[in-house]
Amino acid sequence: MTAEIIDGKAFAAGLRARVGDVAAAFEAAAGRKAGLAVVLVGEDPASAVYVRSKGKATLAANMASFEHKLPADTDQATLIALVDRLNADGKVDGILVQLPLPKHLDEQAVLLRISPDKDVDGFHPVNAGRLATGMPGFVPCTPLGCLMLLKDQLGDLSGKEAVVIGRSNIVGKPMAALLTAASCTVTLAHSRTRDLPGHVSRADIVVAAVGRAGFVKGEWLKPGATVIDVGINRVDGALTGDVEFDSAASVAGAITPVPGGVGPMTIACLLRNTLVAAHRNAGIALDEAAL
C-alpha cells in the first residue's frame, strides 16, 4: 500500500470540538443555545439510530436538541403543521426531517416546506440554487465534509481534474458544484457514462458516490490521485465503500477508508451548518469559512 489514509474520524472530531467552542460563545452572546430540531416519522431502526446519534452529538457540541418522534401513520397535514411550528420557533435554528419518510407521505412537499434559512441539510431547491449560483446558503453535509477533507489534504484545489461518480441531489450534484466553485475541472459521471475508467484515469480527485461495493478499481486510477469514498455498503455484515480499497490504496496518493472516512464528517457538518444558521438567524457575525 502506498496511499496515505485520510482520517475522517479525527478530522470530524476536531470540527466537532471547534463547533462546540463557537457554540458556547454563541450562547454567551445570544442568551440562548443554537438549536437543532430533528423529526423522525415511524420506527425504521436505521433512522432511529441516526436520529439518536445526531441528538447526542448536538448536545455534546453545546447546542440544544429538539427531537420530534411521530408515529408511522402520521398524516401529511400533521407533519406539515409540525414543520410550520418549527419554522416559526425562535429557539430552532436548524430543521432536519429524517429520510426516508413512510411511503404514504410526500417527501418533496415536506422538504419544500422547511424554511430555506433553517434547512441545515441543504436539500431545499432554494439552497441547491444558491450553491449553483455562488450565493450563501446551506450545502448538503456529506459533500461539504468531502470538500473539507480534500482541502485539508491538498490545499488549493484550483485547476485539478476531478471526477465525481454519482449524480444524486444529496451527494453527487452538490459535490460537483462545490468542486466547480473551488476551480476544479469537473466531470460528473453516472450510470450512462461511457468509458468511466478512461475518465477516472485522468482525475487528480475521484469522489465515488455510487452505492456499489468495490465498484471503482485501483487499476482505473491515476497514480497519486486523491480518492474520496462516500459509499456505505453492507457486505456480509461489514461496512464497505464504493472503492476497491486494497487495489486503490496501492495506486492512490491518499484515500478515505470506510468506515472512518467520509461517514463521521456528515454529522460534524450538520452541527457546523446548525451553528452557522444560528449566527445568521440571531444576526451575530461569524467567520464561516474558518469553521
Closest contact distance (angstroms) between CB of 176 and ligand NAP is: 11
Closest contact distance (angstroms) between CB of 32 and ligand NAP is: 29
When the beta carbons of 159 and 198 are compared against ligand NAP, the nearer one is: 198
Report the C-alpha gap between 103 and 173 in whole angstroms: 25
Which residues lie closer than 8 Å to 281 by C-beta, 6 or more apart? 90, 93, 117, 118
List, as own/partner pairs, every contact residues 175-180 make where C-beta atoms lie below 8 angstroms and the sequence separation is at least 24, other chains included. Answer: 175/143, 175/146, 175/147, 175/207, 175/209, 177/131, 177/132, 178/131, 178/139, 178/143, 178/144, 178/146, 178/147, 179/147, 179/205, 179/207
193 binds ligand NAP per the rule CB under 6 A: yes
Cell numbers placing 261:
472516512
Closest contact distance (angstroms) between CB of 281 and ligand NAP is: 26
Q: Is the peptide bond before 45 cis (omega within 30 degrees of 0)?
A: no
Closest contact distance (angstroms) between CB of 81 and ligand NAP is: 29
Report the C-alpha gap between 162 and 180 in whole angstroms: 9
Told to judge if 54 belongs to the known catalytic residues of this protein, a careful annotator would answer yes
Closest CA to 6 of 143, 154, 139: 154
Told to judge if 121 belongs to the known catalytic residues of this protein, a careful annotator would answer yes
Q: Using only C-alpha atoms, what is the Rg of the chain?
A: 19
171 binds ligand NAP per the rule CB under 6 A: yes
Does 166 belong to an annotated binding site?
yes
170 binds ligand NAP per the rule CB under 6 A: yes
190 binds ligand NAP per the rule CB under 6 A: yes
Q: Which residue has the cell 468509458?
A: 195
194 binds ligand NAP per the rule CB under 6 A: no
Closest contact distance (angstroms) between CB of 210 and ligand NAP is: 4
Residue selected from 210, 216, 249, 271 as contacting ligand NAP according to rule CB under 6 A: 210
Indicate which residue of 33, 93, 98, 153 is catalytic.
98
Report the C-alpha gap between 56 and 123 in whole angstroms: 23
Of 53-92, which residues contact ligand NAP (CB under 6 A)? Answer: none
Backbone φ, ψ for residue 20 (5° rounding): -60, -40
Does 247 belong to an annotated binding site?
no
262 binds ligand NAP per the rule CB under 6 A: yes
Does 205 belong to an annotated binding site?
no
Kindly write out the interface string for residues 106-125 of this chain, putting x where it contacts ligand NAP by CB under 6 A and - elsewhere.
--------------------
Closest CA to 138 of 176, 178, 166: 178
Question: What are the residue numbers of the active site?
Answer: 54, 98, 121
The site for ligand NAP (CB under 6 A) is made up of: 142, 165-168, 170-172, 189-193, 196, 209-211, 230-233, 262-263, 266
| Annotated binding-site ranges | 166-168, 232
